[in-house]
Structure 1
């Protein structure tokens, strides 16, 4: 692995995006309109191209191999399917032999890489209001990743999770999310700001120094969530240079996008379930309350869309289970407890029902195939570079 090989990079804590000199092209759907579930503004992931160049690779070949047009990477507001973008992360991590590629992508990005939401954060009156804006509005431009903010024992926990079904390279995507979130918080709080600790849902890397260098805090791997932990009192900090008039304009624009949004009721429930499933706050009554609808209304609307509440919760449980089994070494008993099962045996029965395999067999199969993509070695796609 090339854990000790790092491309040079700029300090992004100042909130200035590094542009690529090229004329923008029209995205597959309006960059300033609403986007459907399973799609995402390129945003932070626009930095994949320069990261690949720093490794001496041609990004266009990998972008095309993932099913995307390289011209899309000329504008961070272009909209792409998360499935193709996730495939690009997989191919790129293999081609560079860099298991923390997502971290490198996120650390290049800035608060402005988050487009409308990032600018709204910049002009919020406090850090807490900025993060509330991120949590509430991220789905305007990202229908694959969800953020949540909670407070526990004087600590704030900012958590990111991939909720789009069957997304690969979730560990790369959450690494990128954590990395840019730290850059955003340093833009809001000052470049010297650091979290108390960082929780990462992936196995211990051979060389964790890249994580420690960027986060400047203890990093705990093999965790159930991707979370930044910092003092809750930081939420009360005023944001220097915030413009209330510009904030009002941005809020109005986001409000218009929400008003023009199409049917996304199922997607809203998926997002809420993904953030609350691990905290045992995912009953139908809980979710109905968050959506400000009656429990029966929730059931009726879901039934009209062809999927019941229990079916959806099981689908989310299966997604979380696969992410933890594939990306971490969290013991089965802990995964079972996190997903709300009283016994590991109950989780095993449920997982076998969902996948046809036991969790142990699925994890072993995932590990065996970790260096393969669609049955072909990564070297077939990366000029002879082997996944090791």
Structure 2
């Protein structure tokens, strides 16, 4: 499945795995996520690796309806900006429309559409390799219904549901969970169909001012997509450094790239990961030494160095003195 997903999707999935008694870090280690442990917040992860994680997770917890159950137990707000765009909208129709327009905040790949036919409104989510994506597709249906129910504070029942997966031997549980007996399997996409009047229902948390603010935030994020890779790496570094984040691999995952590709892009802009990392460390080291009373050892850890000696050597190379000497000189 081409594209990428935000770390928030992975973290929701791994939280469900842990609650079911399985080991989330072991599952991550068995997949192509290629990171040690849980992806850092704000990063993006290759979608094919997450698809593999979904399927392994379902087997690990022994739940054939893992995706459906996760979606229906979803806690609104876990997808941050996208959820808040939904919940602050005026009506369910506006809320679903905002998700359709901004689904790439959470996942890229496939398509998401909203169409009207007479008195019916249909949401259509197409994903590559739908057979492989049965669990995430079922979770997406549950996520939409859970958000809708939370937003209006009452059951929201679709007229019908279409599912790309083959029909299971029994699907009574699906019908009860999704709130409709009309479920059509073997479709070319997953669909939710509602009556138009049901989508005209006002939302409990409708907040036009907040909704406008969130849309401006999305616009700023969109504008930043064309920034040079050097600036994107600097933004990643400025968001905080520690031992896990101060690596090329962590930065590459945050940008949905391979480490090798990120190095190539930085080289084309006349810099490198090592240059950017050391420049940010040098800047932040001076800031912490002069503006805080943090011990040198704590600053070393904050900057992601393996030990204090490595920090001292790096600082002396840039500033011609040790961190302690620098701090004494400005006291």
Band the TM-score falls in, shorter-chain normalisation: 0.5 to 0.7
Asked if the contact 2:130–2:164 (Cα under 8 Å) also holds between the matched residues in 1, the reply is no
Question: Alignment partner for residue 242 of structure 1, among 206, 218, 232?
Answer: 206
TM-score, length basis structure 2:
0.61
Confirm whether residue 175 of structure 1 aligns to residue 138 of structure 2: yes
Describe the shift of the 1:99–1:254 C-alpha distance in structure 2 as closer, same or farther (beyond 3 A): same
Asked if the contact 1:101–1:172 (Cα under 8 Å) also holds between the matched residues in 2, the reply is yes
Asked if the contact 2:89–2:95 (Cα under 8 Å) also holds between the matched residues in 1, the reply is yes
Asked if the contact 2:153–2:204 (Cα under 8 Å) also holds between the matched residues in 1, the reply is no
1:66 partner SS: coil
Q: Which shows bigger deviation, 47-56 or 58-67?
A: 47-56
Asked if the contact 1:89–1:169 (Cα under 8 Å) also holds between the matched residues in 2, the reply is no
Asked if the contact 1:44–1:106 (Cα under 8 Å) also holds between the matched residues in 2, the reply is no
Describe the shift of the 1:51–1:110 C-alpha distance in structure 2 as closer, same or farther (beyond 3 A): closer
Runs of 5+ unmatched residues, structure 2: 228-331
Instruction: Show the counterpart of 1:202.
Output: 165
Describe the shift of the 1:114–1:186 C-alpha distance in structure 2 as closer, same or farther (beyond 3 A): same
**Separation in structure 2 between the aligned mates of residue 111 and residue 54 of structure 1, nearest angstrom:** 17
Confirm whether residue 132 of structure 1 aligns to residue 101 of structure 2: no
**Separation in structure 1 between the aligned mates of residue 19 and residue 209 of structure 2, nearest angstrom:** 40
Shift of 1:81: 1.3
**Separation in structure 1 between the aligned mates of residue 45 and residue 217 of structure 2, nearest angstrom:** 21
Asked if the contact 1:39–1:142 (Cα under 8 Å) also holds between the matched residues in 2, the reply is yes
**Separation in structure 2 between the aligned mates of residue 206 and residue 262 of structure 1, nearest angstrom:** 49
Instruction: Show the counterpart of 2:271.
Output: none
**Separation in structure 2 between the aligned mates of residue 125 and residue 216 of structure 1, nearest angstrom:** 23
Confirm whether residue 186 of structure 1 aligns to residue 152 of structure 2: no
1:260 partner SS: helix
2:59 partner SS: helix
TM-score, length basis structure 1:
0.53
Per-residue CA deviation, residues 15-53 of structure 1 (Å, 9 max, x unaligned), is xxxxxxxxxxxxxxxxxxxxxx72111334433223323
Shift of 1:141: 3.3
RMSD: 2.4
Instruction: Show the counterpart of 1:295.
Output: none
2:166 partner SS: coil
Describe the shift of the 1:169–1:147 C-alpha distance in structure 2 as closer, same or farther (beyond 3 A): same
**Separation in structure 2 between the aligned mates of residue 244 and residue 45 of structure 1, nearest angstrom:** 31
Per-residue CA deviation, residues 301-345 of structure 1 (Å, 9 max, x unaligned), is xxxxxxxxxxxxxxxxxxxxxxxxxxxxxxxxxxxxxxxxxxxxx
Asked if the contact 2:14–2:24 (Cα under 8 Å) also holds between the matched residues in 1, the reply is yes
Asked if the contact 1:139–1:146 (Cα under 8 Å) also holds between the matched residues in 2, the reply is no
Per-residue CA deviation, residues 59-89 of structure 1 (Å, 9 max, x unaligned), is 21111111334643675x4421111111101
Instruction: Show the counterpart of 1:162.
Output: 127
Per-residue CA deviation, residues 239-269 of structure 1 (Å, 9 max, x unaligned), is 2222222112101100111112239xxxxxx
- Give matches, 1:1-388, under 5 Å: 38-68=3-33, 69=35, 71-72=37-38, 75=41, 77-163=42-128, 169-218=132-181, 219-262=183-226
Asked if the contact 1:140–1:258 (Cα under 8 Å) also holds between the matched residues in 2, the reply is no
Per-residue CA deviation, residues 188-212 of structure 1 (Å, 9 max, x unaligned), is 2333221122111111123323322
Equivalenced residue count is 224
1:261 partner SS: helix
Asked if the contact 2:131–2:164 (Cα under 8 Å) also holds between the matched residues in 1, the reply is no
Asked if the contact 2:5–2:108 (Cα under 8 Å) also holds between the matched residues in 1, the reply is yes
**Separation in structure 1 between the aligned mates of residue 149 and residue 54 of structure 2, nearest angstrom:** 25
**Separation in structure 1 between the aligned mates of residue 43 and residue 143 of structure 2, nearest angstrom:** 19
Describe the shift of the 1:101–1:247 C-alpha distance in structure 2 as closer, same or farther (beyond 3 A): same
